[in-house]
Amino acid sequence: GAGVSQSPSNKVTEKGKDVELRCDPISGHTALYWYRQSLGQGLEFLIYFQGNSAPDKSGLPSDRFSAERTGGSVSTLTIQRTQQEDSAVYLCASSSNLGTGTDTQYFGPGTRLTVL
Amino acid sequence: AQKITQTQPGMFVQEKEAVTLDCTYDTSDPSYGLFWYKQPSSGEMIFLIYQGSYDQQNATEGRYSLNFQKARKSANLVISASQLGDSAMYFCAMRGNTGGFKTIFGAGTRLFVKA
């Protein structure tokens, strides 16, 4: 089946503009994660959704960042009033979260955001 | 607080030789999972191997094995018979199984395989 997809693949925006990044998880996966990867760095956890439970937003760096997941499937990460330090690759991952312990996360190709 | 440490920013290995990528972790969670991911220059994150904290045996997946030493809190990745296509960034990650499913990643190790 299809893997995790993200759109757009690249986004260039001007400082101060709002952007929306989209993630389509693997069909049937109940868990969805957003991460940020700055150039040459590891992954920084942003937010986690699991089914209908309240999301874990503990990684969001500021109140300019928000995310939602509609119908337990597609998720949108919104960054308001973008700043140059927001420039990074934003990665989405999904997992089946069957509670087996493995819960392997499968990643999308990412969205490369450049804030000018 | 949870923490993952990868102390080797870069590693070189000769083709067909084995290489060990180090990973140490810290957590107060009694149950957790450890993962290794590969990120080639194309940017995709590829799952390699998983080790559960209560697993008695070290995990193996083809040429990949995880040297899990729970008392030392280390989860080193061993790649046997290195191939040129193994050149990539490798990330160690940990997820606690209680109190949520937040996953933290190490800073990564860039592996260069020489012909």
- Separation between Cα atoms, residue A77 and residue A45, nearest integer Å: 13
- The CA-based dihedral angle spanning residues A45, A57, A20, B41, taken in that order and rounded to the nearest 10 degrees: 10
Where does the pLDDT of residue B30 fall: very low under 50, low under 70, confident under 90, or very high at 90 and above?
confident
Instruction: Kindly report the nearest CA distance between residue A33 and chain B, in angstroms.
Output: 9
Contacts of B88 (CB under 8 A, 6+ apart): B38, B39, B40, B41, B110, B111
Alpha-carbon separation of residue A56 from A12, A35, A107 (angstroms): 28, 12, 18
Question: Which residue among A41, A93, A104 sits closest to B50, beta carbon to beta carbon?
Answer: A104
Contacts B46 to A, Cβ<8 Å:
107
Average pLDDT over residues A18-22: 98
* pLDDT one-digit tens code per residue, B13-22: 999 999 999 9
Average pLDDT over residues B35-48: 92
* pLDDT one-digit tens code per residue, B55-77: 889 999 999 999 999 999 999 99
Q: Number of Cβ pairs closer than 8 Å across A and B?
A: 57
* pLDDT one-digit tens code per residue, A57-73: 889 999 999 999 988 78
* pLDDT one-digit tens code per residue, B85-109: 999 999 999 987 665 667 889 999 9
Instruction: Kindly report the nearest CA distance between residue B26 and chain A, in angstroms.
Output: 17
Contacts B103 to A, Cβ<8 Å:
33, 45, 105
Q: In this model, does residue A99 exceed pLDDT 60?
A: no
Question: Which residue among A50, A109, A110 sits closest to B101, beta carbon to beta carbon?
Answer: A50
B101:A97 CB<8 A: yes
Structure confidence at residue A1 (pLDDT): 54
* pLDDT one-digit tens code per residue, A32-51: 999 999 987 889 999 999 88
